[in-house]
Every structure is written in C-alpha cells, then in structure tokens.
Amino acid sequence: MNKLATNEQDKQLHQTSDESTARIDLAAVYRLINYYGWSDVTLTHASTRIPGSESDFLINPFGFTFDEIKASNLVKMNLDGQIVGTPNLPVNPTAFVIHGGILAARPDINTVIHAHTPYAVAVSTLACGLLCLDEASMVFYNKIAYHDNHGLEINIAQQKRLAEDLGPEKLCMFMRNHGIVVCGRTVAEAFLNLYFLEFACRTQILAMSTGAKLIQPSEDILSSFAQQMEKFKPMKKDGFKSAQIATFKALMGMIERIDPSYQE
C-alpha cells in the first residue's frame, strides 16, 4: 500500500477532518434514526463537534422531522449556547443542556446522541438496568452509566450532574425513566453504540416478557468476554475502529440509495 493511501486510511479512522464532511455524516445519522423509527417525532437529537474546534458543534434545528435534516440545515452553536453563523434556526433547549454539557466536560467525545428508543426506554424504567444476556449487551459490560430523572433537562445547572454521572470514561448512559445518551469519539462509534445498545435492550425486554428464568452469564464469562474484546481491537492497527467506519459507511450507502438529499 502506498504512503498516500495509508495517510488517507489514518485520516478516516479519526473524527472527520472538515466541517462539510461532519455535516454530511451527522445528517446521515438523522436519516438513519428516522429509518429505524427512533426519532420520537422531533424530540431526540444528535450532535457532533466541529473538527478542529473545542467549542463549536452541529445539532438539528428544532421542529424539523428527521427526513428533512440535511447537511446544510444543521445548526452550528457553541458551548455558551449561542448560534454561530447560519442557518439561524431554533434549537431544542434540552438539546443544548445535554449535548453542551457532555461535550464541554469530555474533550475525548466528539459525537453525542440522545434517544428515546422503545426498548432502551423500557430498560430505563427497570431497577436492574441493563442485564448482560447476549453478546450485544456484553459489549457494554461495566461500561454503562446511570442518571436519575430530574424532570426535563432544561436547567443549565443540570449539565454538571449529567457530566458527573457519565463520568470520565464511559460512552453510554441510561437516563432513568427517560431514555439513553450514547457518545463516541467518531460519528460512526456513537451511532453503532446506539444501534447495539437498543439491540441489547430489545433482547432483554423480549426475554423478560416470556416470564421464564433467565440464563445470565457468570462474572467470569463476562470478564473474559471483555478481555477478548480488548485483545480484538488491536489485532490490526486500528482494526476495530476500521470496522466501525466501514459499517457506518455501508449504512450511509443504504440511506443514499433511499434519499441522497441528506448530503445537500
């Protein structure tokens, strides 16, 4: 492989390198959320940090259905809650509290998705939280944070509590009796965390609904699985991250075949 190709691969393994690409990737996330039926009309939201900026990020304009979201109508705002440039469209105030708080507290995170996916909301009401019943849930073993419900997240003071509950390392958090927040160092990582966390929650709710005794893997098995996942990641340089990028690009291709207007 020539040096130019290698450099291009390395670039793709990290957060998008320019704002226009970030806009297209985030617009694709909105179309994917719409495709899977997770939009809750217009009440969920996703953001991504502007590459090279510590304070500016993109988020959806409030009142647009997710099949209307395009790269060009995503709103740029900063961590002070101010709209930067155009379009100057309204943003859901709870979106700024959640996304602004997490992005400010966690410079390692570049993308945040807050969702009310049906099975994750169901799990958010359970005292037991997420159970490790299948391989999708095992991916999140010891990697889930929990945030107690304090009503609508519209008070700026709640940003500190959100950040503290997520902690310094975790990327996924259940907001009890509400929904979930999933994060990623890349857009791809955040969306795939959303997909597989909802998959794990669906498995749990379906299994619990049978009323039969659940088979739960032992702590030894869960610990062993976690160690295997850690060993799997560096088998090839950035191999795990490469798989995430490839999977997300495939999903973008599906959305493009359905409606390419998200790129506009």
Would you call 128 exposed, middle or buried from its count of C-beta atoms within 10 A (0-12, 13-18, 19+)? exposed
SS3 at position 65: coil
Q: pLDDT per residue over 183-235, tens digit each?
A: 999 999 999 999 999 999 999 999 999 999 999 999 999 988 888 877 666 44
Give me the pLDDT at residue 15, please.
52
CATH number assigned to the domain covering 3-263: 3.40.225.10
Please give the radius of gyration of the chain, using alpha carbons only, rounded to the nearest integer.
Answer: 18
Whole-angstrom distance, CA of residue 120 vs CA of residue 139 = 15
How many other C-beta atoms lie within 10 A of the C-beta of residue 167?
A: 12
| Average pLDDT score over the chain | 89
CA distance 253 to 263: 12
Residues forming beta bridges with residue 147, ordered by sequence position: 175
In which order are the strands placed within the sheet that holds 144-147? 75-78, 56-59, 45-49, 111-115, 179-184, 172-175, 144-147
DSSP 8-state secondary structure symbol assigned to residue 91: -
Global pTM value = 0.89
172: tokens are: 């996924």
Q: How far apart are CA 151 and CA 241, in angstroms?
A: 36
Mean pLDDT of 108-129: 98
Q: Which of 158, 137, 157 has its CA nearest to residue 148?
A: 158
